[in-house]
Structure 1
Amino acid sequence: MTGRELVLAALKRQPTPRVPWVPFTGVHIGSLKGVDAEQLLKSAELLTACGVEANQRYRPDGQPVVFDLQVEAEILGCELKWAKDAPPAVATHPLADGYEKLKELRLPRPEDGRLPIILEAMRNLKEEIGRNTALYGLVVGPFTLALHLRGTNLFLDMFDQPETVKELIDFCRQVTEQVAEYYIDAGMDVIAVVDPMISQISADHFQEFVSKAASHIFDFIRQKGACSSFFVCGNATPVLEVMAQCRPDGISIDENVNLEYAKEIADRYQISYGGNIPLTTVMLLGSQADNMAKALELMDAHKGPGYILSPGCDIPYNVPPENVSAISLAVFDPEKARVFVETNKDDSAAADVEIEMPDYDSLPGVLIEVLTLDSATCPPCKYMVDATKQVAKLFEGKVDWVEYKITEKENIVRMQRLGVTNIPTIVINGKPTFVSYIPDLATYKQEIEKVLKA
């Protein structure tokens, strides 16, 4: 079987001779050719050349053409903040002041924004590598797109203006379907609906606001003849079952979700599941042996139908290429990889790092520590940091805050010392307070007031 055939078979829960391997390479592919993320995401030529390079180096069975959840938002009027080593972040929200402009928004056309660049790259890569590699077209999910358009006020609106929120999400559903259709027409085998912000809501809210739209999207993709994946970064455990009920062909999750539980859900609903090689502790900061060992561990535990080996989200720009190649070796020559792991056992990447922790009992006020993957690249992390900035303004002089990105070894140690197991998390005066959950302003304020009165 070709790699493409392996991926498509796994998405249909058919037996495969080995576990398929799908690295979500994202802007990381730019590092292989020495171009930064902004250059990459604005050039069909570079997306093509770097995509081919990644294909040759990593021998994937499937790979995305682009991993950028801001494409649709940019077309709809969000201003972006660009970075050299990450996808852009949404900087402004067209509906921040209210929903009056919603009726003025129009569905994207193939000539809008960066869609011409992406569609050209898709057609190029279909020609270059599409015979043997399943190509993924990634579209932003309706809830995350709604949050891009409205901002964090969306969470309060779910209580105060639920019908208006549903109207917005239905519009976003139409956007997702429209862009998915363009990508399918350009030759994409799999449409991954990436909706990281659903990890921030309850299963009840998911069913109230997202289920109908998501189910419609996956039915639409199926009718168009493509396979689908429901992709969420963050702790999606509370919503994993309701995600599966939306009838995607598969679910993709990161290290915040127990893969055994994901398998249980996938088996129950007869869908595929993929994940969840840790992005930072293993891929970014680990050794080649660490990466081989994790890949072998996952493949040994998940040999049944429907499993796809992949990272938890898009691979960071600065991940050493040799680490990704190490996973590829484990996929294609597991016995050689086992020998390598045994002869290259290493201590934890952060074992030799020392850090100084605050004396939380002696703080003059409130210290908020936001532990993130990176708010510049991770939407849930960004909105958690935004909420922290907003609440800190209400307590000027009494509240200090800092973001710690676990892409740095020191902050992995800090995370361990604080007892934090999920990202993103808000820690208030040394106590993990909001774990993988973005509080509304009133709840956040109330928690700070409790600490100030203590």
Structure 2
Amino acid sequence: MQPKERLFKTLKGEPVDRVAWVPFAGVHSGFLKGYAADEVLQDADKLYESLMEVNRLYKPDGQPVIFDLQLEAECLGCELQWEKNSPPSIKTHPLDGDEEEPPVIPCECTIPTPESGRFPIVLDVMRRMKESVGDTTALYGLITGPFTLASHLRGNNIFTDMFDFDEETEELLNYCSKVAKATAGYMIDAGMDVIAVVDPLISQISSNHFEEYMTKPFTEVFDYIRERGAYSSFFVCGDATRNLEVMCETKPDSMSIDENVDLQVALEIGRKHGVVVGGNIPLTTVMLNGNQMDNMKFVVDLLDNMEDKSGFILAPGCDMPYATPIDNAIGVAQAVIETDSVREMVKNYVGEEIDTSGVVIPDYENLDKPLMEVFTLDPLSCAACTYMFRVAQEAKDAFGDKIDMVEYRITEKENIARVKKMEVKKLPSIYINGELEFSSIIPSKSKLEDALNAAMK
């Protein structure tokens, strides 16, 4: 069975010979060839060369051509902060302003064209990849989902807008839906087989707000992709468990989840709606900071614990960290392709325990002033982490020396040990004086300030 055929059959709910494998190697593809993230995302030849190396080394059934949720936002006036080892982050929000004023879409906010921004680079590489490996590998085009694009344009105010400005928020999301349909169309024209609508911030809202604001724009986007003859995926990050049901009701062909979501729960909901589930290899604890045996054992154990493997695609929980060891991703590929032999290799392997003995926990009861601790995956590459860290930084700026603030990124091993010792369950999270205040939910500026004021009493 050809890799592409295996993925297509999985998406159609048909029997396959083994689980399909899709490595989300975005900027990591550049790492394979020694290119920095900002190089591989701005140079067509370097991007194409890197993607071909992903195809050669990791033997994917499907692979994304680019993983950059700033592509559309850049065309619409957002300034970017470029990085060497992660995708760029949003530096400015064109529709930002006073949270007490509604968002207003200016007349110059038009729909990007295939000639806008970096689209010529991306579409060129998509066509080249289609010609080179499109007969054997299913190719993914990733677009920014309506809610995350709206947040790029509006900033953190989008979260309070949903309470205060119903009509204006709906108008903004409908506009972002039109952008999503247009960019999906360009990628389908360039030969993409699957369009992944990547909207990490969906995990940050309630299911009621999803139904009120998101059902219509997402359903329209997935309907359009289906009408164009491509498959679709609803890609979400963080603990989106409460929204899996309503996500499925927008009728994507598949959805992708990360390690914050229980895979079995997602599979049960997905099968009820006929939606395939992809995921959810941990990005940092396993892929980035584990060794090859850790990665192989994780995959074998995951597959062996699944009584029913139908409707499942093995994938990292999100975009692979830039410096993920190559041997680790090769180990994942080997484990899914040659599961029986790898099972024998790892049957007696016991991974190294995370040492928490060196972690010093503050004496929270005797602090001189409130301590705000922000736990993130990486605010440079995780959109939800970006916005949670930003609202925390704004609070720190407002309170100044009245509070202390520290951020822990679990891309660093010592912070993984801290997460384990403090029993942090979900990312991103904010703790105040050692108590969990916001878990996988981005607070409004006023709510976070209220929590900090309460800690001062």
Indicate the TM-score class for this superposition, using the shorter chain for normalisation.
Answer: over 0.9
TM-score normalised according to structure 1 size = 0.98
**Which structure 2 segments of 5+ residues have no match?**
none
State the shift of 1:305 in Å.
2.0
How big is each residue's C-alpha offset from its partner over 1:124-166, in whole Å with a ceiling of 9 and x where there is no partner?
1111111111000000000000000000011111111111010
State the shift of 1:59 in Å.
0.4
Q: Secondary structure at the match of 1:229?
A: strand
State the shift of 1:270 in Å.
1.1
1:398 aligned to 2:384?
A: no
Q: Secondary structure at the match of 1:42?
A: coil
Aligned to 2:421: 417
Match of 2:369 among 348, 365, 368: 365
Q: Secondary structure at the match of 1:117?
A: helix
Range 254-263 or range 293-302, more displaced:
293-302
State the shift of 1:398 in Å.
1.1
Within a 5 Å distance, the mapping from 1:162-173 to structure 2 comes to 162-173=166-177
State the shift of 1:31 in Å.
0.7
1:86 aligned to 2:91?
A: no
State the shift of 1:204 in Å.
0.2
State the shift of 1:357 in Å.
2.1
Match of 1:183 among 187, 191, 194: 187
Aligned to 1:146: 150
Q: Secondary structure at the match of 2:277?
A: strand
Q: For 1:338 and 1:290, locate their aligned partners in 2 and report how far apart those are by CA, in whole Å.
A: 12
Contact (CA 8 Å) 2:427, 2:440: kept in 1 or not?
yes
CA RMSD for the aligned pairs?
Answer: 1.2
Contact (CA 8 Å) 1:299, 1:309: kept in 2 or not?
no
1:260 aligned to 2:273?
A: no
Aligned to 2:439: 435
Aligned to 1:320: 325
Aligned to 1:383: 387
Range 99-108 or range 225-234, more displaced:
99-108
State the shift of 1:101 in Å.
4.5
| Percent identical | 48
Q: For 2:348 and 2:424, locate their aligned partners in 1 and report how far apart those are by CA, in whole Å.
A: 32
Aligned to 1:15: 15
How big is each residue's C-alpha offset from its partner over 1:74-109, in whole Å with a ceiling of 9 and x where there is no partner?
000000000000000001000012634433200010
Q: For 1:13 and 1:101, locate their aligned partners in 2 and report how far apart those are by CA, in whole Å.
A: 41
Q: Secondary structure at the match of 2:139?
A: strand
Aligned to 1:60: 60
**Which structure 1 segments of 5+ residues have no match?**
none
Q: For 1:351 and 1:336, locate their aligned partners in 2 and report how far apart those are by CA, in whole Å.
A: 31
Aligned residue type for 1:315: M
How big is each residue's C-alpha offset from its partner over 1:3-55, in whole Å with a ceiling of 9 and x where there is no partner?
11111111111111100000101100111100000000001111111101011
Q: Secondary structure at the match of 1:210?
A: helix
Q: For 1:4 and 1:194, locate their aligned partners in 2 and report how far apart those are by CA, in whole Å.
A: 21
How big is each residue's C-alpha offset from its partner over 1:322-348, in whole Å with a ceiling of 9 and x where there is no partner?
000001111111122112213543313
Q: For 1:353 and 1:138, locate their aligned partners in 2 and report how far apart those are by CA, in whole Å.
A: 42
Within a 5 Å distance, the mapping from 1:29-428 to structure 2 comes to 29-97=29-97, 99-302=103-306, 303-348=308-353, 350-351=354-355, 354-428=358-432
Contact (CA 8 Å) 2:373, 2:406: kept in 1 or not?
yes
Q: Secondary structure at the match of 2:107?
A: helix
Aligned residue type for 2:389: V
Contact (CA 8 Å) 1:196, 1:233: kept in 2 or not?
yes
How big is each residue's C-alpha offset from its partner over 1:185-244, in whole Å with a ceiling of 9 and x where there is no partner?
000000000000010000000111111000010000000000000000111001111000
Aligned residue type for 1:56: R
Contact (CA 8 Å) 1:93, 1:148: kept in 2 or not?
yes
State the shift of 1:441 in Å.
1.6
Q: Secondary structure at the match of 1:327?
A: helix
Q: For 2:188 and 2:305, locate their aligned partners in 1 and report how far apart those are by CA, in whole Å.
A: 33
Aligned residue type for 1:41: L
How big is each residue's C-alpha offset from its partner over 1:284-334, in whole Å with a ceiling of 9 and x where there is no partner?
111111111111122223443211000100100011000000011111111
Aligned residue type for 1:336: S
Q: For 2:130 and 2:404, locate their aligned partners in 1 and report how far apart those are by CA, in whole Å.
A: 50
Q: Secondary structure at the match of 1:369?
A: strand
Q: Secondary structure at the match of 2:361?
A: coil
Aligned residue type for 1:62: G
Q: For 2:104 and 2:172, locate their aligned partners in 1 and report how far apart those are by CA, in whole Å.
A: 11
Aligned residue type for 2:169: V
Aligned to 2:3: 3
Q: For 1:59 and 1:217, locate their aligned partners in 2 and report how far apart those are by CA, in whole Å.
A: 30
Contact (CA 8 Å) 1:12, 1:271: kept in 2 or not?
no
How big is each residue's C-alpha offset from its partner over 1:361-404, in whole Å with a ceiling of 9 and x where there is no partner?
11111111110001111110010011111222332221111111
Task: Specify whether residues 162 and 411 from structure 1 end up closer, same or farther in structure 2 by C-alpha distance, changes over 3 A only.
Answer: same
Range 360-369 or range 248-257, more displaced:
360-369
